[in-house]
Structure 1
Amino acid sequence: MVSLLGSNNKASLLCHVFGKVQGVYYRATIRDYALSLQIDGWAKNLKNGSVEIVVAGEHQSVDKILALLWEGSKDSKVLSISINKWNDKVKEGFFIE
Structure 2
Amino acid sequence: MSTRQKKIRNTGRYLVPVIAAGFISYFGYHSIHGGRGLLAKEGFEQQSALLQEELDKLVQKRNFLQRRILLLQDGTFDRDMLDERARNELNLSRPGEITIYLDR
Higher strand share: 1
**TM-score for both structures, normalised by structure 2:** 0.20
- Give 1 or 2: higher helix fraction: 2
Q: Which has the higher relative contact order, 1 or 2, with Cα contacts under 8 A spaced 6 or more apart?
A: 1
The structure with the larger Rg is 2
